[in-house]
Amino acid sequence: MECAARGFATRCVGPPTRRCGQCGAVAYCSVSHQTSHWSYHKEECERLEEQMRRVDLLNDFPFTFTEDATVQVNDHLWMILRNLMPFCPLYPVTKQLCSWTDYFEWRKIPLDSPVALLLHWPLTIYHAIQAIGMGNLTPQISDELRIHYLGPQKELGQLGVFAELQALFPGLRIRVELVGPDVPQHMDGEMISLSRYSPCMEEECKCHYSSEIPHASNESALSSAVSLQLHRGFYHDRYSDIIKDSPPPHIVIAPNAGVAAYPSWLPTIELIKEIKVLAVFTDYCEEACHLAACCIKTITGQPLSLPIELNPFRQPMAVEESPLFIPCYSNCFIFAM
C-alpha cells in the first residue's frame, strides 16, 4: 500500500496510515498530502465508497484449500494439473457454468483443491463468451472458435491450462492467438497444440479403455483440439501479420488489461473498433474497469456493450500491494466494448 498522493505533492514523510474517512479505500502519509489530494480524490471518493460496500462479495469463495497448497501449485504446476484436473470426454458440460462451485461439481474436483488458481485463465475465457452471449458468435462459427488473447504475462508459463477449453467448448476446434510485448522473442510465432484428452480419476470409467474415446490421431480428437500461437508485440502492430495466416477473430479477450494505465491501448482500441469485433476486458478491481470504460468511451464514442460486472471465475487469491484497500483479484471484473 502506498500513499494515494504519491507523485501529486511533496515527498512522502512515512507509511500511509491515514485512511480517507469517507470511502476508506485510500490512505495517506500525512494530513498535508490528504488535503492536497482532495481536489482529485473528491471525484472518485463516493464511487470508491460504493465499491467498499461490496468487499464481502469479492471475497466470497467456496474453497477450503490452505495457504500451503497455493505454494504447492506454484512449485508443482504440471503435477497439480495432471492429478487435479482430470477430464472425461464422455461427460461434456451440459449446462452453463455460473460459479466455481458449478465447475468443481461438474469436474468432480474437491473444494480443497487449489487448481482454480490456474484455471481462472480458461474459465474467464469461457465466462467472457457466455457473458456476451454465445448466440452472438454462433452464426459466425462453423467448427472453429478463433480468439485473439491480448497481453499475456503469467499465462506464458502456464499455457497447458488452456487445454481445458476442450471440455468447456466440446465439438469445436479452438484457435487462440496470444499477442503481447511480454511474449519472449524466442517464442514469437511458436505454435502449440493441446489436443490430448486425459482420463478421469474414476478407475472404472469407460474413458480408460473405451474405443469411443477420441485419440490425438483421429479426426474426432482434432475437432476439439486447442491450438495456440504466440506473437510478440502490440496487437495493433501485429494484427495484419496474424490474419495473413488465419481468418479474423470471433472475439478479442484482454485479461487484466489496465487500459487506463497504458497509452499503448489507444491504437489497439481504435483497431478493435475498426474491425468491428466483440472485445472483452478484465481487470483487478472495479475502479480500474471504470477508468478503462471512460477511456474506451472517449475513443469510440460508444458506451460499453457489457457493463462492468463481477467475474465469478476470478482467481481466488488476492493480489498483494494493491493501491486501494479494496481487495484485488486477477480477472476480478469483466466488461466489453
Q: DSSP string spanning 239-282?
A: HHHHHHHSPPPSEEEETT--TTT-TTHHHHHHHHHHHT-EEEEE
- Residue length of the chain: 337
Beta-carbon contacts of residue 291 (< 8 Å; ≥ 6 apart): 259, 260
pTM (global) more than 0.95: no
SS3 308: strand
Taking residue 287's Cβ as centre, other Cβ atoms within 10 Å add up to 21
Distance CA 52, CA 288 (A): 14
- pLDDT in tens for each of the 337 residues of the chain? 789 998 887 889 999 999 999 999 999 999 999 999 999 999 999 999 999 999 999 999 999 988 777 766 665 555 555 554 555 655 667 789 999 999 998 888 889 888 899 899 999 999 999 999 876 677 677 778 999 999 999 999 888 889 889 888 887 889 999 999 999 999 999 999 886 555 565 667 766 655 444 444 444 444 448 999 999 999 999 999 999 988 999 999 999 999 999 999 999 999 999 999 999 999 999 999 999 999 999 999 999 999 999 999 999 999 877 778 999 999 999 999 9
